[in-house]
A and B are shown apart, each in its own frame.
Chain A
Amino acid sequence: MDQFVQQLVFGLANGAIYAVIAVGFALSYRTIRLLNLSHQQFVMFGGLLGYSAVTSLRLPLPLAIVLVPLAMALLSILVERVVIRPIRLRQADPVNMIIATLGVGVVMTETARLLWGGAPLSYPGFAKGTVLVAGVHIANATLIVLATVFFVVVLLQLFLTRTWTGRGLRATAEHWRAAQLVGISVGRTVTITFAITGALGGLAGVLISWLYVATFTLGDLGLKALAGAVLGGFGSLPGAMVGGLVLGVSENLFSVYAVSNLATLFVFALLIVILLVWPRGLFGVKVSEAR
């Protein structure tokens, strides 16, 4: 039983990181109707950037957890300016933008492989050891990850509900033309959305690379969070949170109690099955293009 609870907590830490990535996917789709297929590569890139920050630059990990998301937000804004904006202003086929983000993701993966090489890189030890909570050993790292994610989610929630910029984002998500009429700049909304998703990706990248390793294939792991976002109802932020957590826990239980090397298959088969039988997801989003 203790072992089961331990695995549950372990999966919860993975799930919290998935949740952060899933919120990025969902936010991008909710506010600007874009499936951003470079998002998981921001996770990967952030993880590797974090590695360089704590090794080459000898920054303490907590500082890297703050700085890497900022750097990834800037990179994300750059991508938006150079790649996304010209396509958006041309008002072409919406799939063009998805293809472009996919292309950006491929460029990022390959650039990372050329810069950092193919070998997995581990962060130097930080906050090792475990604490005993109610008879269950929990790694310090797990607690730090959970606390960080909780803090960031609260921060994002405050931003979206208490600031005018955040409200503008939500208004755009509801109805971008109406939002434009009341003076909200769509261009600015897109930029801010990209900045936030980039930062969320970078944060998740540092956390996941710290728990495991940083490597150029980390995007494959980040993409699994998409299944979490879909499970919660694609585009719903609370859905992405809950979906990410459920996914992390169930994937971990699957790999411990079923077949560990089929975990990837499990996650993506789950994504297809959800879309086939229950596309509205946990939080019941609308599944047809309404506008």
Chain B
Amino acid sequence: VATSSPASQSKLRLESDRGFRRSPAKLAALVLGAVLMVALPLSLGSHSALLAFLINVLIFATVALGLQLVLGHAGLLSLGQASFFGLGAYASALLTTQLGMPFPLGFIAAVVLAVLGALLMAPIIRLSPVYFAMASLAFGIVVDEVFNQWGSLTGGHNGLTDIPPPSIFGVEISSPIGIYYLALLLCGVVYLLYGGLLRSTVGAELSAMRQAEDGARSIGIKVAHVKVLALLAAAAAAGGAGSLYAASQATITPSGFSPTRSVAFLAMVVIGGKRDLWGVFFGAFVIQYLISYGTGIADYQVLIYGILLTASMVLLPEGFSGLVKKTASLIGKRSSGRV
């Protein structure tokens, strides 16, 4: 990634880092959240349905974190994020079942394949954003067709079954609690890495690009490179999450990675908010809640995604996290007597 001149960097930092700078309060919230997430399954005991729900929230949030980076920070509308998730899931599932490879190798292969898929799209990023949106939509459909039609490899509509649970260095992690902690680890690592990325020069460059792309270009930011980097980082997270998803579910079918699932990921990011990392967890929780506990309204599930997508763009474009931030700043101003 290109580094721009020191002068421009310091200017950028003024604009960009405000939202992602560490502050004692934020650090405390982060630690509290982490402790809560670690302690949660211990208090649940044998409540395995709830644990399975939380595992999915964490896995989907990992994918959604990537989509948020691409959409909210790089300004690229990816309409096929589920395909990277699916490429990871199928790569890992095939290697661990057909070739009997250990899970860590399957995981690495999943990340690599998803990144390669994203790399294919890299040249299109140079065109205007609309072209990337169309290409990602088409990519999602192509991958979905491959999963469905290449029966001899992917098992077609029936998908792949008997995927072994994750095992690391010979230790099989088959209990839901074990898988929960693995998902928490993956999600936590992605969260911290993205947080670090957004506080780094790349984050400043992303922010500058979002505010004025031509301006950013004029001070030497290699716009296309930064965008590609964001897309690859997102695909890597989605691929890794797919690998863990396959191992945790034991069975995968194409419908888990369809264009509709891409819309679900988009809904998670949009309802949670396109900017703040934590908003994604809110979005993932809401959507996964609909999937897991909305069996009575299963017929309306996709309709609800559509309504949520449209309504949040019209009424709440900054999502839930934007609403919280706005409310907090209003309260802050009131109490300090400025408004």
Residues of A bordering B, CB below 8 Å: 29, 33, 35, 37, 82-83, 86-87, 90, 92-100, 102-107, 109-111, 114, 223, 226-227, 230, 234, 261-262, 264-265, 268-269, 271-272, 275-276, 279, 287-289
Q: Does any Cβ of A come within 8 Å of B233's Cβ? A: no
Q: Does any Cβ of A come within 8 Å of B266's Cβ? A: yes
Q: A276 and B123 in contact (CB under 8 A), knowing A99-B309, A110-B306, A269-B142?
A: yes
Contacts of B138 in A (CB 8 A): 226-227, 268-269, 271-272
Cβ contact of B306, chosen from A35, A94, A103, A226, cutoff 8 A: A103
Restricting to B37-52, which residues have a CB under 8 Å from any CB of A? Answer: none
Q: Does any Cβ of A come within 8 Å of B134's Cβ? A: yes
Cβ contact of B313, chosen from A37, A87, A261, A288, cutoff 8 A: A87
Cβ contact of A98, chosen from B77, B126, B300, cutoff 8 A: B77
Give the secondary structure class of A's interface.
helix
Contacts of A276 in B (CB 8 A): 120, 123-124
Decide if A268 touches B141 in the complex (CB within 8 Å).
Answer: yes
Q: Does any Cβ of A come within 8 Å of B135's Cβ? A: yes
Cβ contact of A262, chosen from B149, B263, B310, cutoff 8 A: B149
Decide if A107 touches B135 in the complex (CB within 8 Å).
Answer: no
Q: Which of B75, B142, B308 has the most CB of A within 10 A?
A: B142
Decide if A103 touches B310 in the complex (CB within 8 Å).
Answer: yes
A2 → chain B, closest Cβ, in Å?
A: 31
Q: Does any Cβ of A come within 8 Å of B127's Cβ? A: yes
Decide if B309 touches A100 in the complex (CB within 8 Å).
Answer: yes
Question: Please, how many angstroms separate the alpha-carbon atoms of A269 and B137 in the complex?
Answer: 11
**Interface bits B107-139 vs A (CB < 8 Å: 1, else 0):** 000000000000011011011111101110111
Give me 17 A-to-B residue pairs in the complex whose CB atoms sit less than 8 angstroms apart, sorted by A's number. A33-B130, A35-B134, A83-B310, A100-B309, A103-B311, A104-B306, A106-B305, A227-B138, A264-B141, A265-B145, A268-B139, A268-B142, A269-B142, A271-B134, A275-B127, A279-B124, A287-B131
**Interface size (B, Cβ < 8 Å)?**
42
Decide if A230 touches B134 in the complex (CB within 8 Å).
Answer: yes
Apart from the given pairs A114-B299, A279-B124, A287-B127, 11 other A-B contacts in the complex at a CB distance below 8 Å: A37-B137, A87-B313, A95-B75, A99-B270, A103-B308, A103-B309, A106-B309, A264-B145, A265-B145, A276-B120, A276-B123
Decide if A271 touches B306 in the complex (CB within 8 Å).
Answer: no
A118 → chain B, closest Cβ, in Å?
A: 11
B254 → chain A, closest Cβ, in Å?
A: 13
Question: Please, how many angstroms separate the alpha-carbon atoms of A269 and B149 in the complex?
Answer: 14
Q: A100 and B124 in contact (CB under 8 A), knowing A110-B302, A264-B141, A268-B138?
A: no
Q: Does any Cβ of A come within 8 Å of B303's Cβ? A: yes
Contacts of A234 in B (CB 8 A): 130-131, 134
Contacts of B317 in A (CB 8 A): 87, 90, 92-93, 96
Contacts of A107 in B (CB 8 A): 303, 306-307, 310
Decide if A106 touches B75 in the complex (CB within 8 Å).
Answer: no
Question: Please, how many angstroms separate the alpha-carbon atoms of A234 and B134 in the complex?
Answer: 11
A32 → chain B, closest Cβ, in Å?
A: 12
